[in-house]
Structure 1
């Protein structure tokens, strides 16, 4: 009988594998990352964890890889216990009301691939979007959101 590996070990491996794939498939992105590494960390012998805080493009690449390939695909359930949720369809101007106490859910891919949030190129690997539009972070649920957010 084969020993099972815990799921928690597969999630980072999956995200890293997908990130590596996108780097290999997009040589221009690799050149941008190398340029950032050269300018931010000129002396690799004196490397510290603090250097990684300054790697804006590396952070954007990781964010983009997790956006396109979230580790956990479970639907994220939410309930508004006291206040109804009001949604207005911008295309039709029709208004929908979800009564309080109603269970709703969404998956990371539903949100991460939505063109209204991430543009018409939502299915493309484009790390620069995170630098050009810092407000995209409010749509990112790769590690859940709120009280259920992944701490690690």
Structure 2
């Protein structure tokens, strides 16, 4: 994990790749729990028997489940000391170029695109690429926008 000593150190890293998270296995249980939480029970996610006959040969994670892993994975890549809090502000771009079959391992690579003054703190923009082990395309690519509030 890369640890930055305050916002100025983070700003100095703009334009660099910050590293990769650990691998995370996306289980069928996690997919089912996400389906319960969101009400998205489409068979390609939650019916292993039917999904075995479908286009992917197995169940796949919801795209938004993959996206929801981004904070957990990104926190493994970098941290900023001397801040009161970081807040998810939104996303500029989001794509799901490939699927995540149940049982797949994924990890995130993080590139720091910008750190600009904004409101009560700073707005940081990262490009997070979630890759699937053995996959030829990313599972998710998103520009995440966060607000970083320095400690008083």
TM-score by length of 2: 0.30
- Bigger relative contact order, structure 1 or 2, given CA contacts below 8 A and separation 6+? 2
Q: Which has the larger radius of gyration?
A: 1
User: Which structure shows the bigger proportion of residues in helix conformation?
Assistant: 1
TM-score by length of 1: 0.30
